[in-house]
Amino acid sequence: MRSRTANRSGIVIRRRVTPAGDILVTLLTPQGKLKAVARGGVRGPLSSRLNLFHHVGMQVYQGPQNDLASVQQAVLEGALPTLAQPERYAFAHLLAEFAEALYQEGEFSEQAFELFAGALRGVAHQPDPEWVALVMSYKLLALAGFIPQTARCARCAQDHPTHPDPLGGQLLCSSCAALPAYPDPSLDFLRNVARRTVRASMDAPLPAEQRPALWRALERFVTVQIGSVHSWRQLVPTGTALSA
């Protein structure tokens, strides 16, 4: 008989408390997403362990008639307290929302888990968390198979487009575009970030004035390809002018 109890280790990417005092959590694990409920969790030790961005080990029970696994035990395996800082929290929250949207329950992806965990560590510890979040957002998208079209114009398929696509977040040729062309460093980033190593991208950060256009492109691409991401609103107070 198949056991209904399992041990899972993962990072909390979503947390919600119900009026009844239960904690609903979504974890990203090497085996994919896992949704679970800690019943009455806000009144016990699980409340502090099942916090957003915590790396926890859990024992869960999946009943035959239950859609959600029930948390039996949880042990804190790692925490990144600096993610509570306002200049870091918004970027970490965006990455968590990406992970929730991109990866499915039961979809095995140890690579996705390691990439996401590395992204959170970078946002927590690096002096330029915005650049970490921008690079890793594109890397998470690429790993999930969402790669912007940069070799050809998104409208007419002409080679070597250089202008922003304000609707789809990709690239347009000069004939189709209404906006000025990207600076060469921004074009290089958009064309190569998916295949370039994380270290290479980290070693060549773009200046702050070029980043808002890349964030806008990312926002439009994600909205069209995946759906609305609410965390964009949290980025505005950090100085990232997404609506400029």
Distance CA 186, CA 211 (A): 8
The pLDDT of residue 176 is above 90: yes
Rounded to whole angstroms, the Cα distance separating 93 from 127 reads 18
Confidence of residue 233 (pLDDT cuts 50, 70, 90): low
Which residues is 17 bridged to in the sheet? 23
CB atoms under 10 Å from CB of 32, counted, come to 18
Q: How far apart are CA 111 and CA 172, in angstroms?
A: 32
| Residue 75, phi then psi, degrees to nearest 5 | -125, 130
Phi/psi of residue 90, nearest 5 degrees: -60, -40
Quote the tokens at residue 82: 């600096």
Render pLDDT for 34-61 as a digit per residue (tens, 0 to 9).
999 999 888 888 888 999 999 999 999 9
> What are the pLDDT digits (tens) for 69-127?
899 999 999 999 999 999 999 999 999 998 888 887 766 688 999 999 999 999 999 99
Residue 162 has pLDDT above 80, yes or no: yes
**How high is the pLDDT of residue 2?**
52
Q: Tell me the percentage of the chain whose pLDDT exceeds 90.
A: 74
